[in-house]
Amino acid sequence: MTTEVTIFVNGAEQTRAVEPRTLLVEFLREGLGLTGTHVGCDTSQCGACTVLLDGKAVKSCTVLAVQAAGQHVTTVEGIGSVEALHPVQAAFWEKHGLQCGFCTPGVMMTAIGLLQERPQPSEGEIRSALDGVICRCTGYQNIVRAVQDAAVRMAARDAQTASD
C-alpha cells in the first residue's frame, strides 16, 4: 500500500508514491536522486543525513516522508552552486572544515540551521549544535572555525542585501 506525498524540496514541488514507512532520507536519495544527504549509521547517531525541514535542522533518518508532507526540505544540493557557493560552503572550503567529506553535508546543514536561529553563536553554542554530527576526521577545530567564518559571511551578505 502506498500513499502519495508532496514535499517541497530545494524549492521545487515533488510528489511521489511512498510506503508509509519510507524515511525522508530514502525519499530524498532513492526517490529524488539527491545523494548529498548521506546515510551513515541507520540509528540517528551520526547526523550525516541532516537536512533543513521548514528551516530547522533534522536528521532525515528519523522523519517519515509522510510526516514531511507539505513542508519545505532543503538539502545540501539546494544551498549553493559551484558558481555561487553558500557562505557556509565557502567558509568550509577556505577554513578546511572537511577532510573525507562524508559528514560534511550534515555538518553544513546543521551549521545553516544554527546560523539561521543564532546569527552570531558563541564557540560553545557551535560545539553544542554540532554535538549531533559525528566527524571522525577533523577533530572539529576547523569545522568550528568554518562555522564562525560563515557567521561573518552571512552577516555581511545580509547587510549587503538590506542596503540594496
Q: How far is it, in rounded angstroms, from Cα 53 to Cα 61?
A: 12
CB atoms within 10 A of CB 99: 15
The top-scoring range by mean pLDDT among 44-48, 136-140, 142-146 is 142-146
Query: For the segment 116-125, what is each residue's pLDDT rounded down to a tens digit?
Result: 999 999 999 9
Q: How far is it, in rounded angstroms, from Cα 99 to Cα 47?
A: 16
| The C-alpha cell that represents 87 in the structure block | 557562505
**pLDDT band for position 96 (50/70/90)?**
very high
Write down the pLDDT at residue 137: 86
Q: In sequence order, what are the residues at sequence separation of 6 or more whose Cβ sits closer than 8 angstroms to the Cβ of residue 74?
A: 9, 10, 51, 52, 55, 109, 112
Architecture of domain 87-163: Orthogonal Bundle (1.10)
Q: For the ranges 72-76, 81-85, 160-164, which has the lowest average pLDDT?
A: 160-164
**pLDDT band for position 139 (50/70/90)?**
confident
Query: For the segment 17-57, what is each residue's pLDDT rounded down to a tens digit?
Result: 999 999 999 999 999 999 999 998 878 899 999 999 999 99
Crossing angle of the two packed helices 141-163 and 87-94, in degrees rounded to 10 = 140
Specify the pTM. Answer: 0.94
Architecture of domain 3-78: Roll (3.10)
Tell me the domain boundaries of the chain: 3-78, 87-163
Would you say the CATH fold of 87-163 matches that of 3-78? no
